[in-house]
């Protein structure tokens, strides 16, 4: 059973939080396409209170430590490894899907790794913002690939002080 509550973000979107009762299992902006279904509304879980405090600090311009939250994102070993790399991206910085693919190839003892495979793992990150998938961009500067929407990705990167002049919004693609 998953429980849910909501948080009203300063980006103007409702953020949905999900928990198994103890850990944070999901955090989605707006109408994310990979949200859990049939969650039971419950606002009183300690993990929800802790997450809302974390989000308040984040949106106030602080850099809260995600390690103080009990996170339990569900995913394959490969996805978990990619999400761990996402957690290493500092506030206000971005990396490319290709950068993560190179890191994953090295970890797996391979010559190379598909950036598309990495993109699939990044796109299925169930705990956005805290596991910062918004900090991943295309090698060519494209801002593609954020399940919460490109406008929200831009707002989050601007909030973190990223120089947006080198990036562009794609006009075609599946991640718009």
CATH number at residue 93: 1.10.10.10
Number of structural domains in the chain: 2
In this structure, the number of other CB atoms found within 10 A of the CB of residue 138 comes to 19
Among residues 20, 39, 68, which one ends one of the domains? 68
Residue 16 lies in a domain: yes
Catalytic residues: 133
Residues in the chain, overall count:
176
Q: Once rounded to an integer, what is the mean pLDDT over residues 155-171?
A: 93
Question: Which residues face 6 on adjacent strands?
Answer: 16
Contacts (Cβ under 8 Å, ≥6 apart) of 60:
none
Q: Tokens standing for 43?
A: 């606002």
Predicted pLDDT at 30: 73
Among residues 68, 99, 114, which one ends one of the domains? 68
Q: What confidence tier does 12 reach under pLDDT thresholds 50, 70, 90? A: confident
161 with 125, same domain: the answer is yes
Q: Is 0.85 topped by the overall pTM? A: yes
For the chain, give the mean pLDDT: 92
Residue-number span of the structural domain to which 49 is assigned:
3-68
What whole-number distance in Å separates Cα of residue 125 and Cα of residue 82? Answer: 9
Sign of the C-alpha dihedral computed for residues 54, 6, 46 and 18 taken in this order: negative
Among residues 22, 42, 68, which one ends one of the domains? 68
84 with 64, same domain: the answer is no
Q: What confidence tier does 18 reach under pLDDT thresholds 50, 70, 90? A: very high
**Angle at CA of residue 47, ends 25 and 118, nearest 5°:** 30
Residue 175 lies in a domain: no
What whole-number distance in Å separates Cα of residue 52 and Cα of residue 47? Answer: 9
Contact 29, 9 (CB under 8 A): yes
Q: What confidence tier does 50 reach under pLDDT thresholds 50, 70, 90? A: very high
Contact 50, 97 (CB under 8 A): no
What whole-number distance in Å separates Cα of residue 15 and Cα of residue 44? Answer: 16
Specify the higher pLDDT residue, 22 or 174: 22
């Amino acid at each position: 059973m998953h429980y849910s509550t909501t948080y009203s973000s300063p980006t103007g979107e409702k953020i949905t939080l999900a928990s198994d009762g103890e850990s944070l299992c999901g955090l989605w902006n707006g109408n994310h396409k990979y949200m859990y279904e049939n969650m039971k509304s419950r606002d009183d879980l300690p993990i929800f209170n802790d997450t809302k405090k974390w989000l308040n600090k984040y949106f106030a311009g602080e850099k809260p430590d995600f390690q103080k939250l009990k996170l339990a994102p569900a995913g394959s070993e490969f996805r978990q490894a990619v999400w761990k790399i996402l957690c290493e991206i500092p506030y206000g910085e971005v990396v490319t899907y290709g950068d993560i693919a190179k890191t994953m190839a090295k970890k797996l003892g391979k010559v190379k790794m598909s950036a598309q495979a990495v993109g699939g793992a990044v796109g299925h990150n169930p705990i956005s913002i805290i596991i910062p998938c918004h900090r991943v961009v295309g090698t060519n500067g494209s801002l593609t690939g954020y399940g919460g929407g490109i406008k929200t990705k831009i707002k989050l990167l601007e909030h973190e002080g990223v120089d947006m002049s080198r990036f562009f919004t794609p006009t075609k693609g599946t991640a718009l």
